[in-house]
Amino acid sequence: MTAAPEIAPAKLNLALHVRGRLPDGRHAIETLFAFCTDGDLLSAENGRSGLLVEGPFAQDLDPDDPEDNPKPNLILLAVRRLQKVAGVSRQTGFTLQKNIPVASGLGGGSADAAAALRLCTSVWGIDPRYAQEVAPGLGSDVPACLLSLSARGDGAGDRLTYVELPELSGTPVLLINPRVPLSTAAVFSGWDGVDRGPLGDWREGRNDLEPAAIALVPQVEAVLAWLGLQRGVTFSRMSGSGATCFALFEDAAARDEAANAVPREWWRLATELR
């Protein structure tokens, strides 16, 4: 069986509150996930194995992934684990069109892994519950990325409550990254440890990781300031652990006007929310 290529939608955190630590040492967060219509693109081909990476950010990923790799490629790790739980031995190779910057706060690796789970579920003709079983062990964002629907995330962000945000569907959004990768672990390590309260209305919320991200990559502050000055912006914030920031716009014309004015040294993506 063959399947159409899977989009790995870029993930946004409309708000991200860090509340403390979980018993396993991970940070306890409250966040609201939203997803864009664009992202990386993953295709599968039976009869071969491995991963080919193409696209503007291909050079930032190493597709060579032996099974003993201490930092495995999440696509291939997802496939191996899905094969194990589903009892599938079929060889399937993958091609990733890497359109989203690496280590950018957009859930790129998690979204790619989730796309691999969806793609294999279709290609192999297996029960989707196997993918749901595998997803949590791949990373805190992977369960949210598996369905790529708006959801509140609690715990480490992996305890999901799906929410309806019909007013946001189709909203024009502009993503900007200063082309500086940011380590999620380093940003969380820089959190000041202050619990500033629970997440309610996401528009009144925060991204508690912004100060730590700005301390590591000062350009984040410049991107946020630039977005705040653009015509038609209704909301702007940093996503995840950065360094990507985003803005929601009144209409596509205002978004495109801003996209055309983005400084050329910054990466940009004009898209919309799912």
pLDDT in tens, 152-210: 999 999 999 999 999 999 999 999 999 999 999 999 999 999 999 999 999 999 999 99
pLDDT in tens, 39-54: 999 999 888 889 999 9
What is the rounded CA–CA span in Å between residue 5 and residue 76? Answer: 16
Instruction: List the domain range (segments joined by +) for residue 226.
Output: 172-272
Q: Is residue 1, in this structure, part of any structural domain at all? A: no
Task: Quickly list H helices, 87-180.
Answer: 108-124, 128-134, 142-147
250 shares a domain with 194: yes
Catalytic residue among 38, 40, 65, 141: 141
Catalytic residue among 11, 40, 112, 158: 11
- Supply 250's token pair: 């009144």
Q: Count other Cβ atoms within 10 Å, centred on residue 129.
A: 11
155 shares a domain with 229: no
| CATH for 47 | 3.30.230.10
Q: Is residue 167, in this structure, part of any structural domain at all? A: no
151 shares a domain with 41: yes
The reply to whether 11 belongs to the active site is yes
pTM of the complete model? 0.94
Tell me which of 137, 162, 187 is where a domain ends: 162
Number of domains in the chain: 2
Tell me which of 162, 197, 216 is where a domain ends: 162
Query: In the prediction, which pLDDT does 91 show?
Result: 86
N-term to C-term CA, the chain: 28
144 shares a domain with 205: no
204 shares a domain with 147: no
In the block, tokens 């495995």 appear at 72
pLDDT in tens, 95-115: 999 999 999 999 999 999 999
| CATH for 254 | 3.30.70.890
Query: In the prediction, which pLDDT does 65 show?
Result: 59
